[in-house]
Amino acid sequence: MTTGTAHLLLQREGPLGTLSFNRPEHHNAVSLDMWRALPELLAGVEADDALRVLVLRGAGYRSFVAGSDIDELDDISGDADYARASDAALDALTRLSKPTVALIHGHCVGAGVAIALACDLRFASDDARFSVPAVRFGLAVRVQTARKLARVVGPTHASDILLSGRRFDALDARRMGLINHVVAASEVDDAVEQVAHQIADNAPLSLRAAKLALRSAVEAPAWDESTDLEDAIAACTVSGDRAEGGRALRNKRKPRFTGH
């Protein structure tokens, strides 16, 4: 089943959701309307217990997301509404309790890198190309994107990426730690589907607790959601899924987790 908007398509298939940035004629550049629509779409993913993992990709194979819409930037450069909309969308993606995987084909530029950084895992085809070219156009990088980039690749690589604005390939991105895996372009879709199903087979409450624990580890001391993490750990402790995991282990079978 496919829902969403004309430029943001959400396809559900079993435990997997695939969110596609659907502007292939513009290399899937993100418009203001897309930024504004993204939090509500993600709220629907959050509320759907049947969805265990969300894969994000660009429509087609030429681009993941090639930045924000340049034509709109000409009109609303410096507009606080645009900054608020993009920040809110990226924050909603970061806070999603369900694991997220970025599937990157082709160009991943500017806002595309920010979206990929907001995901938990990043897989790239061997023909992928990356850049954050804000300095080449007189633009400022969003603070949360700079912080996340520095956490993921370290300040040395982040300085290289942000100050040069240069383009780099998938192997460079893997070497810097920006992406988890580089896969042949003809095989990356299958590789992401396989790992997404592997994640989806795990206990949903445990996945939520793991994501919160990771955020606590990398964002401390600024992170202020320790109560959420404590609640998530407590929910795992008393869950039926914990009992099911033990039964499955003793009976040497695959567990059947329900998220309760």
User: 152-169, pLDDT tens digit by residue?
Assistant: 999 999 999 999 999 999
- The percentage of the chain sitting over the pLDDT mark of 90, rounded to a whole number, equals 66
Q: What is the span of the domain harbouring residue 230?
A: 203-251
* Identity of the residue numbered 5: T
Write down which residue in 199, 219, 241 finishes a domain.
199
Same domain (yes/no): 88, 174: yes
**Are residue 122 and residue 194 in the same domain, yes or no?**
yes
Which of 174, 199, 224 is the endpoint of a domain? 199
What confidence tens digit (pLDDT) does each residue in 110-134 have? 999 999 999 999 999 999 999 999 9
Are 239 and 116 contained in the same domain? no
CATH number at residue 158: 3.90.226.10
Residue 67 has pLDDT above 90, yes or no: no
In a domain, 258, yes or no: no
**242 band by pLDDT with thresholds 50, 70 and 90:** confident
Using pLDDT thresholds of 50, 70 and 90, give the confidence band for residue 4: low
Residue 66 maps to a domain: yes
* 38 within some domain: yes
| Non-local CB neighbours of 187 within 8 Å, separated by 6+ positions | none
